[in-house]
Structure 1
Amino acid sequence: MPPEPIPDGASSHYRALERLYNAAPVNTLFPSELHIPGEGRSRLVFSVSENVYHAAGAAHGTIYFKMLDDAAFYAANTLVTDRFLLTTSFNLHFTKPVRGGKVVAEGRWVSGRKRVLVAESRLTDEDGDEIGRGTGTFMRSRIALSGLDGYAR
């Protein structure tokens, strides 16, 4: 068998961010899968079921915020290899209720590389219809990524 290729620095960072996401305790409450395909991008996939409904029988806004924030956050953190980012603000727009099925959150870095970064995200249902979108600002923290469970093996 040929040896496995050694991942480049960016790819290693992306895989470490995916491990960090999986290690976050909150994700046991909101099962989802993160994939980082490249710099400034992220993709989250999750399923909506009745256990996340509000009283009127559709997904609670908590789900929208969590997935939109995470998608934008991880898209931005692909550009920062030494520090954990913190969400400083997030603007959210609900465009359609969702009652079930697979939902995808895609994040995209928009601007900033130094102290503050801006990223946006979009939620689509399994029919490809947009159900929400958001824009966030993220600031470098003093928390080293290398010291976080999940990021460092």
Structure 2
Amino acid sequence: MSGDALAGHAPSGAEAHFRALESLYAAAPINAMFPSRLEITGEGTSRISFLIEPEHFHAAGAAHGTTYFKMLDDAAFYAANSLVNDFFLLTTAFNLLLTRPLPAGPVTAEGRWVNGRRRVLVADARLIDSEGEEVARGTGTFMRSRIPLASLAGYARG
């Protein structure tokens, strides 16, 4: 099928869920403070692209740890939630390893589901700087909430 034949085709199944999660991410008010773009790249994987700006810096001129945590948590969270299409997940624990200071510039967070599909899911993520170097990694535990995804305003299936 040509690309033109697919134009106007509404996504369905897993693809619709992935696009709805991307919409949910974009609608989150916190992302006004951390402009970024989420892509669910497949079942159990995600990528977030963002730009570190001086307003993200601590007093020594590199990204504050909150920036590392937010992007690692989001990438791992959405990798895990890509496997759950009925309820919103909640982060119950997250471990960080910060290995390098992060200067201003583009950064990518890559998330990957590791284990679990029922009540508790485990996923990890890593931050990659503009030179392709890993600067941090984290592992999170996520639990199904009682909040239906369909009840969230930003979660819109095509």
- Structure 1 Cα separation of the partners of residues 150 and 8 of structure 2: 24
- Structure 1 Cα separation of the partners of residues 156 and 128 of structure 2: 32
Could you report, residue by residue, the CA deviation over 1:69-128 in whole angstroms, capped at 9, with x for unpaired residues?
A: 000000000000000000000000001001111000000000000000000000010000
Q: How does 1:72-91 map to 2 (within 5 A)?
A: 72-91=76-95
1:131 pairs with 132, 135, 141, which one? 135
Could you report, residue by residue, the CA deviation over 1:25-64 in whole angstroms, capped at 9, with x for unpaired residues?
A: 0000111000011100000000011111000010000000
2:48 pairs with 44, 49, 55, which one? 44
Q: Does 1:4 align with 2:43?
A: no
Q: Does 1:34 align with 2:38?
A: yes
1:67 pairs with 57, 64, 71, which one? 71
Q: How does 1:88-127 map to 2 (within 5 A)?
A: 88-127=92-131
- How many angstroms does 1:141 deviate by? 0.2
- Structure 2 Cα separation of the partners of residues 75 and 16 of structure 1: 13
Q: How large is the RMSD of aligned CA atoms in angstroms?
A: 1.1
| Consecutive unaligned residues in structure 2, runs of 5 or more | none
| 2:144 alignment partner in structure 1 | 140
| 1:15 alignment partner in structure 2 | 19
| 2:57 alignment partner in structure 1 | 53
- Structure 2 Cα separation of the partners of residues 56 and 82 of structure 1: 43
- Structure 1 Cα separation of the partners of residues 125 and 32 of structure 2: 22
Q: Which amino acid aligns with 2:139?
A: T
- Structure 2 Cα separation of the partners of residues 119 and 107 of structure 1: 7
SS of residue in 2 equivalent to 1:99: coil
Moved segments of 4+, more than 3 Å: none
Provide TM-score, normalisation by structure 1. 0.97
